[in-house]
Structure 1
């Protein structure tokens, strides 16, 4: 009997041991860390999820990029909107105040910038554009900026120079062209007199009296091109005889050319002027109106730049036919 009990006890131990082994094997199967290859359907779901996330992230980055650009740039004058007049009063820079303080009657009521489409007529603008193109035909530049100074006759792109007044071909300009230039200059001058509250007898045109033709410049040449109009600058710092600056646009932004907008560099948000035919942009020439021009990316942009001084010793006569014929 005792032997039977011992045998049963041993059998129970064997059974318990077998159950323990089976349980241990089951747990090992359940905890098997070996990776299982994903099914084709699960692979498709993962790929779609990754693609969707990539699209969302890219979209957000694009929005943030353009939003940050917009935050730093504000359109002051759109080319699609006719402006009777729009101005912004500014705090004069100390250097400008120190320089202009000695000119009685030429001290502006306030430093500012002012844009208007009312001063110069479309007819005058078209005639000035014809005049400019005739001048630039004397030297056909393929890229970058070319300037024509009607005071000296200098036609240059910073590398090559021609003097149109020494050219044997005297057929480019006629007396009507110089009369037109003088009449438009007088309108610009009196617009400055009116909006900046200076005396007309105390403000004078100074050199250069510039036509500008601006074309696209290759990225390689922009590194060495001598006239870097896209770099921010201050006119009065460049030449302290400049006290008032005016820009007259002879072509339309986004129609005749792309790029080439005028940008005032302000402390928080830059102000942009989009060129429009007959648009006149006037401003005090001190550090309060630091600016640059965006690079032209296609087409051709034409402008006239006028610099006015309060210092009579730097005054120039209006360009005349007699100078051209000598």
Structure 2
């Protein structure tokens, strides 16, 4: 009987060892599976991180998009590039339907354009000097000063004056006939470019008011006229506007910081960075809701020149009287 007990004991010991071996195998298998799972998870994370970093790097390299507090912003025109003719078509709003339509002029094709080739930087510097001379007569106490050669409107403190009446003959010592001729010539080039881009006749367009120089700095606003940064629609603010243009007379990041022009589209903002001689133009309806960023430092100069299709709202070029 003793030998049988020893054999049974060896069998039990053998069975116990087998169970422990199987348990150890299961533990190893579980560890391998867990390790592989973690490896796969890590590989997926690395892949996602690589894709995200590639997108960010691409954006940084192209300089076309960036992230701000307001979401994604696309730059339509960088200050450092020279744009021959860039046009982006957008669907027209219904704003024009509430006004008398003029076939061959009232927008049926809407959008926004940028060009750096119709006005030279030298010409921009010359016309900027016109703004500087006129604004030397006055200027706003706040951050935004206006000079309108047509009506004579000039910012002075917290108010506006008619510089032709207020300063009289002194105006003739400030401006020259050559200044006004240059203003008219550049206005005509802008009008022709707008007509070409929108497929209309330039003769069907009329200069309209207000058309003015603006000088913006970072001074604290004193009146509502100094608060230039609010979003607005030109066709709503000025019913006569059909096409709006801006001729920039100073350089973003060199002459001033901030102060970019922003189209506020659904889901994204699209900006134009000013550059001396750059012309930005667009249809004036709510398809082009826009604003100007606050200027953080320096001084930003520009001219707003706008056009109407209604001859009743047209004005002539300014003259030195």
Aligned to 2:24: none
Aligned to 2:194: 192
Aligned to 2:226: 227
Displacement of 1:160 after TM fit?
Answer: 2.3
Aligned length: 254
The answer to whether the aligner puts 1:313 opposite 2:312 as a matched pair is yes
Aligned to 1:250: 249
Q: Report SS of the residue matched to 2:216.
A: strand
The answer to whether the aligner puts 1:274 opposite 2:264 as a matched pair is no
> For 1:72-87, what aligned pairs fall within 5 Å after superposition?
72-87=72-87
Deviations 1:140-191 (A, max 9, x none): 4454100111111010268222322121313111100000000000001001
The answer to whether the aligner puts 1:164 opposite 2:150 as a matched pair is no
Q: Distance in 2 between matches of 1:75 and 1:115?
A: 12
Displacement of 1:98 after TM fit?
Answer: 4.5
Aligned to 1:174: 176
Picking from 195, 209, 212, the partner of 1:210 is: 212
**Higher deviation after alignment, 191-200 or 179-188:** 191-200
> For 1:128-147, what aligned pairs fall within 5 Å after superposition?
128-141=127-140, 143-147=142-146
Q: TM-score, normalised by structure 2?
A: 0.75
Deviations 1:28-87 (A, max 9, x none): xxxxxxxxxxxxxxxxxxxxxxxxxxxxxxxxxxx9xx8454842111111011111212
Q: Are the counterparts in 1 of residues 104 and 200 from structure 2 also a CA contact under 8 Å?
A: yes
Q: Are the counterparts in 2 of residues 88 and 114 from structure 1 also a CA contact under 8 Å?
A: yes
Deviations 1:192-226 (A, max 9, x none): 110011112210001122010001033xx47x543
Q: Distance in 1 between matches of 2:70 and 2:86?
A: 21
Greater radius of gyration (CA): 1
The answer to whether the aligner puts 1:112 opposite 2:108 as a matched pair is no
- Unaligned runs of at least 5 residues, structure 1: 1-62
Q: Are the counterparts in 2 of residues 247 and 303 from structure 1 also a CA contact under 8 Å?
A: yes
Q: Are the counterparts in 2 of residues 236 and 287 from structure 1 also a CA contact under 8 Å?
A: yes
Deviations 1:1-43 (A, max 9, x none): xxxxxxxxxxxxxxxxxxxxxxxxxxxxxxxxxxxxxxxxxxx
CA RMSD of aligned residues (A): 1.9
Could you list the structure 1 runs, at least 4 aligned residues long, displaced by more than 4 angstroms after superposition.
none
Aligned to 1:241: 240
Picking from 200, 203, 219, the partner of 1:201 is: 203
Aligned to 1:94: 94
CA 1:85–1:69 in structure 2 vs 1: closer, same or farther (change >3 Å)? farther
Q: Distance in 1 between matches of 2:112 and 2:266?
A: 15
Q: TM-score, normalised by structure 1?
A: 0.74
Q: Distance in 1 between matches of 2:269 and 2:195?
A: 26
**Higher deviation after alignment, 123-132 or 106-115:** 106-115
Displacement of 1:89 after TM fit?
Answer: 0.7
Q: Distance in 2 between matches of 1:158 and 1:285?
A: 30
